[in-house]
Amino acid sequence: MSGETVVLGVDPGLNTTGYGVVAVSRGRIRLVDAGVLKPAQGLPLPLRLRELHRDLGEIMDAHRPEAMAIEQVYSHYRHPRTAIIMGHARGVLCLAAAQRDIPVKSIPATHIKKAVTGRGRAGKEQVGGMVCRLLGIPGPLSPMDVSDALAAAIAYCEEAADV
């Protein structure tokens, strides 16, 4: 894979974390791997976080990304618990990257949407459709956490190309 840059995109969540690995070379982007991490539901929080950390670490070890793109935390002020729970998941995912010296780029959701669709306020279906189109995937990705993770990786690649 000479000349390729491998990027891991992550859509963090405590119940479902989407991940997507892409490789970019000479302005062309291709899908390497994608899926979800789902810690066991009945486990206490520390054990669920351990599973997330371990599982993402295995993906990193398998694909050796040069960077990880992760959606920046956003939570409406009426739902602070959501931000706190998301922060737990983000923390262990970022730790897995740091332990492997993989730089982490936190990207706002509006920037991700704009990079993929041209509109910062695009809906999830539009983002998912454009991710499939850009990567040559024939059908919709399910769950949407996968397309969100791939969108983060694509946004990272777009930003890196502009630098």
**Catalytic residues, which ones?**
11, 71, 145
- Beta-sheet strand order (sheet of 17-25): 28-37, 17-25, 5-11, 67-71, 104-107
In DSSP terms, which residues pair with 70 in a beta bridge? 10, 106
- The rounded distance, in Å, linking the Cα atoms of 90 and 11 is 9
Question: 127: closest CA among 44, 28, 9, 43?
Answer: 9
